[in-house]
Amino acid sequence: MNTFFQVTLADFRESVRAKWFLIYSLVFGGAVILLFVLGVTEARVMGFTGLSRLLITYIQLCVAILPILILISTVRSVVGDRESNILEYFLSMPISLGAYFWGKILSRFFLIFIPISTALLGAIIWGMVKSLSIPWQIAGYYALLLGTLSWCFLGLGMFISTLVRKQEWGLGLSILIWLVLLLFIDVILIGLMLQNQIQESVIVAVSLLNPIMVFRAGAVLLFDPELTSMGPASYVILDNMGYYGFLAFTILYPLSLGWLFSWLGFSRFKKGDLV
Amino acid sequence: MIKIKNLTKKFGKTPVLDSINLSVKRGDRIALIGQNGAGKTTLIRIILGQYFFDGELAVFDKNPRHHRVEILERIGFVPQLPPPIQMNVGELVTFSAAISRKSSIDDIYQKAAELGLDIGKNVKKPFQKLSGGMKQKLLIALALAGQPDILIMDEPAANLDPQGRQAFFLQLIQSLEKTTMLLSSHRVDEIINLINRIVEMDYGRVVQDEQIDQSHFADKMLACRVTLTKNHEAAIRMLKDWGFKNVNGGLELEGSFIGAERLRFLTSISHFANHIQKLNIS
């Protein structure tokens, strides 16, 4: 266990010094600051204003950019260490494969989650300073949603990292997967519906396999409990799961997916040549 | 300590190691030599449990892939190229001491001092910012502090300049008198005073496995006379570096060296074999 925490701490120290972490932190911290500066809290959408309005915009930004940022930064974990011979050196020390792999995942989770949650917390604190009304329920749920989505794409990124032998392939595969997931939110599914007259419930079920879709729906759910913005799909979802069932699904499904990909990555990692 | 029998390793369909048979016993100090692509690094990585393989391999009577942590606690490894670690020296030392059950921060500091590196003065410096020699010394100190039963070094002086390499190996000789070693290198002449066995690899096979016995002449002075075929500047410069002097201003040079150095001398002069008419050692 000591080795596991030592690896987590060592990887955290290594990654904090890397440029990608700085850029990543600036993107999300800067986004919140920009939203305040642009007066987003003054605008009104669907009846929401103030900090709620800002949080909704922030989470929509995260839907757009968080998955690809996580994938790009994570996919270089194992394959990058392999290419640079860091893996050869660290695995010549008495470190178990489990301690190395899971220590790296935990470190990366902290690195991904701390900036985005700090930005969220910063927004709340600034809202308190400005005497805005604090939507604690939305903030808490969004923090949970960000955490579970981070875990999902972190697991996927680590899995890709164990599949490929070069960083370029990993980056290419990450971008391809992200594009497919984005396209499957609306474009491809609408096309399928129109062309093949597939049963609506099947289309909705397929769309809900997409973690980005789940994240988007979850972001909408708290301020649109009837999911009216999702059109007829809302009937299928709410009839089958109910409001609280779907709320739980938006958290548990990406979390489970993240664990599944992480385990697949670890199995792949320890069954092959390590370097 | 290491027993290898019919060990084969392929990457895809390409065999990199082909039916290797080798055993390493306590006290062996082996120079693992061979051209690029001979399979030296692959063999080292298999011993460290980083590759799967066909055949039999036992390190301390265990399979290194199935008992990695147990075996690696008894092995010290110094890689060919210092990895691009972002941590500073202090953090790396703390990490290494925390991972190992047998080394402490004080041990690492002491080993580094023996090799001529003051960790205290560089503790906040990023590992990447150290000079090549300092990086290698730190990596060796980290490896030695764990009191390894086997020290494995893959071209440890590859990125040092000639002067740095000479000083580096001199210090190693002083520090590592009784350590079992597997030392991969292109240059036998540099490490000849460290080792007592040479294993040469070529195209994935062991082509030579010889003990070196320096005891007969080790402490005797040997006189040597070399006759060159022509006035070859590099050969003359090399011989003069060994303290040789021209005889009668011609193509003959004579000098002497201590017996322990004879293999190193012969390796150095072998580069000019085409230009030597006669060589006499007595």
Q: B132-174, pLDDT tens digit by residue? A: 889 988 998 999 898 899 999 988 777 666 666 666 676 677 6
Return all residues near B209 (Cβ < 8 A) that are at least 6 apart.
B22, B197, B198, B199, B200
3-state DSSP call for residue B276? strand
Best mutation target among A89, A90, A100, A275 (most B Cβ atoms within 10 Å) is: A89
Q: At residue B98, what is the residue type?
A: A
Contacting residues of B for A86, CB less than 8 Å apart: 83-85
Domain at B2-211: CATH architecture: 3-Layer(aba) Sandwich (3.40)
Domain B221-281 has CATH 3.30.70: yes
* A197-214 pLDDT per residue, tens: 777 777 888 888 899 989
Domains in chain B: boundaries: 2-211, 221-281
Query: Which residue, among A156, A152, A147, A192, has the nearest Cα to A177 in the 3D structure?
Result: A156
Residues B133 and B184: their CA atoms lie apart, in Å, by 17
Distance CA A249, CA A256 (A): 10
Spatial separation of the C-alpha atoms in residues B179 and B140, rounded to whole Å: 13
Q: Answer for the pair B57, B7: CB distance below 8 angstroms, yes or no.
A: yes
Tell me if B79 and A3 make a contact (CB, 8 A cut-off): no
Q: Which of B77, B83, B98 sits opposite A84 (nearest CB)?
A: B83
Residue B122 tokens read as 């560089």
| H-helix or E-strand spanning residue B143 | helix B132-145
For residue B113, give the H/E element and its range: helix B105-114
Nearest Cβ partner for B100 among A90, A94, A273: A94
Q: Angle at the Cα of A263 (from A147 to A97), degrees rounded to 5?
A: 110
Q: Does B68 touch chain A (CB under 8 A)?
A: yes
CA angle A61, A54, A182 (to 5 degrees): 20
- State the pLDDT confidence band at A52, using cuts at 50, 70 and 90: confident
What pLDDT sits at residue A39? 61
- Which residues on chain A place their C-beta less than 8 Å from a C-beta of chain B? 2-3, 6, 9-10, 13-14, 17-18, 84-86, 88-97, 272-275
Question: Is B272 in the A-facing interface, judged by CB distances under 8 Å?
Answer: no
Q: What is the ipTM of this complex?
A: 0.82
CA distance B146 to A102: 25
C-beta separation of A35 from A58 below 8 A: yes
Query: Which among B224, B227, B182, B225 has a CA at the least distance from the CA of B206?
Result: B182
Residues 6+ apart with CB under 8 A from B11: none
Place of tokens 């890689």: B79
**Which residues in chain B are closer than 8 Å to A93, comparing Cβ atoms?**
72, 77, 96, 99-100
Pick from A2, A7, A88, A95 the residue to mutate for testing the B interface (most B CBs within 10 Å). Answer: A88
Residues of A in contact with B45 (CB under 8 A): 88, 275
> What are the pLDDT digits (tens) for B8-47?
999 988 899 999 999 999 989 999 998 888 999 999 999 9
Cα angle A168, B65, A93 (rounded to 5 degrees) comes to 75
Chain B residues closer than 8 Å to A14 by CB: 85-87
Distance CA B66, CA B62 (A): 8
Residues of A in contact with B99 (CB under 8 A): 3, 6, 93-95
Of B133, B203, B207, B149, nearest to B181 by C-alpha is: B149
Token pair for residue B28? Answer: 């062996």
pLDDT at A35 over 80: no
Better pLDDT: A275 or B158: A275
**The residue to which tokens 């036998």 are assigned:** B188
Does pTM top 0.90 for this prediction?
no
Both tokens assigned to B204: 């994935």
